[in-house]
């Protein structure tokens, strides 16, 4: 759980950049491909991550716009632009509306009470969880998977080093 706004902002800067990096490695033609019945597609996962920024922050009382959870149709370019816009809005809202002393305060979240610092932790964990799902689907689709916490298989090869099996 975060106890300092600056710690969250530092993590958020990196994590949101990595999510944008994953989105930027997607291809429009793979967004709606279903790899398995009853599972989210790459496009649906990207939209879920993007939509969740506003949904979760709005629920927490922060001034981040909430978008329609079921868009009619979106292009990859639009999803990336909306994600980047809202990732920046999260940073701005947290910085301007909350302070370190408030991170222990509880607020109603999803039929429970969460500390504000925990809300920020879950925001990052939620995004990381779905981003991981996306990288598995990207690999299955034959897309380049970017390194997040170290080089990916493709990046090791580009560096002229053997990728681990």
Separation between Cα atoms, residue 165 and residue 162, nearest integer Å? 9
CB 103 within 8 A of CB 3: yes
The continuous run of DSSP H or E covering 107 comes out as strand 106-109
Least confident of 6-15, 112-121, 140-149: 140-149
Residues 2-58 pLDDT 10s: 999 999 999 999 999 999 999 999 998 888 877 777 788 899 999 999 999 999 999
Report pLDDT for 31: 85
Report pLDDT for 80: 94
Report pLDDT for 67: 73
| Ordered domains of the chain (ranges, CATH) | 5-158 (1.20.120.450)
Closest CA to 107 of 99, 94, 97, 117: 117
Phi, psi of 108 (to 5 degrees): -70, 125
CB 9 within 8 A of CB 93: no
65 falls in which pLDDT band (50, 70, 90)? confident
Reading the block at residue 150, the tokens are 């170290």
Give the single-character DSSP code of 63. Answer: S
């Amino acid at each position: 759980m975060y106890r300092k706004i600056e710690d969250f902002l530092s993590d958020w800067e990196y994590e949101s950049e990595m999510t944008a990096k994953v989105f930027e490695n997607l291809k429009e033609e793979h967004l709606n491909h279903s790899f398995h019945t009853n599972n989210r597609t790459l496009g649906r996962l990207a939209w879920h991550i993007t939509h969740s920024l506003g949904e979760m922050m709005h629920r927490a009382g922060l001034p981040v716009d909430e978008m329609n959870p079921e868009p009619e149709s979106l292009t990859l370019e639009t999803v990336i632009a909306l994600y980047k816009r809202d990732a920046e809005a999260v940073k701005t809202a947290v910085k301007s509306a909350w302070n370190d002393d408030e991170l222990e305060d509880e607020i109603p979240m999803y039929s429970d009470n969460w500390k504000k610092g925990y809300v920020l932790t879950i925001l990052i964990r939620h995004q990381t969880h779905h981003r991981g799902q996306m990288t598995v689907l990207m690999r299955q689709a034959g897309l380049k998977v970017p390194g997040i916490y170290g080089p990916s298989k493709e990046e090791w090869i580009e560096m002229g080093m053997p990728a681990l099996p």
